[in-house]
Amino acid sequence: MHNSTKAIENYEECLQLARTIKYDKRVVQAAKELLEIYWHCAERSRALQDITGSIEYFEKAIMMAEACGNESMGAEAKYNIGMLYAKLRNLEKSLDYQTKYLEYSSQAGNKAGECKARASMAEAFEVCGDVLTAVSHLELYLEAAEDVDLTTQARGHCLLGLLYQRQHERDMAFDQFQRYFALARIIKEPDLLDVARVNIGIVKDVHELYFGASAG
């Protein structure tokens, strides 16, 4: 971290000087370097469970992304901040940042980004007790996932199935897990198939526990 701190000091001085003398090319270059360093520090802080420190570095990364015109990295930083605030159980701020990331992804036509944002927002809304909005986000996730890949689609069905399972909507959960299993068979990914079998088995066991084996 010492080397990173020294590098940050050097590039921040360079950035300030470049701004003072209105040397735009040098401003962009210094901002790019600082963006990379701040990002590295944010990831390191997150790995060390320093959530607040990680958020601070990602906030700085957003400023540098704006300075060098890197909208994509700025948006990804907002997504990461949203995830970190969710860990802190600050769901209002988490949703605020995820909404910004979703807006950017939608404008950029980044369907994978839309899916990431909606999965995170669905989790936050469920924690807040707004299950209908959580379901809506996962349904929109599935719409966007059609333009991504089968693995992303499968994950969406799994997330929706798990949500229904937590809400004791066993039939709806079973339907989503079956869709997940069907896609997993097409993809032929052993890990996906194992997860699908486990989830379907859990739903069946719970159904039999409540209604008896003859009801299935």
What span, in angstroms and rounded, lies between the C-alpha atoms of 121 and 91?
Answer: 9
Residue 16, pLDDT score: 62
What span, in angstroms and rounded, lies between the C-alpha atoms of 85 and 94?
Answer: 5
**CATH number corresponding to 74-148:** 1.25.40.10
The overall average pLDDT reported for the chain is 85
Q: Which helix (H) or strand (E) holds 24?
A: helix 24-47
Angle of the 131-145 helix axis to the 111-128 helix axis, nearest 10: 170
C-alpha distances (whole Å) from 84 to each of 42, 52, 66, 96 are 11, 8, 21, 12
- Residue bearing the bigger pLDDT, 39 or 11: 39
| Other beta carbons less than 10 A from residue 156's beta carbon | 28
Assign domain 1-69 to a CATH class.
mainly alpha
Mean pLDDT calculated for residue range 38-60: 96
Whether 1-69 shares its CATH topology with 74-148 is answered yes
Which amino acid is present at 33? E
* pLDDT of 210 over the 60 cut: no
- Stated pTM of the model: 0.80
Q: What is the pLDDT of residues 115-148, one digit of tens each?
A: 999 999 999 999 989 999 999 999 999 999 999 9
- Residue bearing the bigger pLDDT, 107 or 193: 107
* pLDDT of 216 over the 80 cut: no
* pLDDT of 157 over the 70 cut: yes
Helix, strand, coil in percent for the chain, rounding step 5: 90, 0, 10
- Map out the domains of the chain as residue ranges: 1-69, 74-148, 150-216
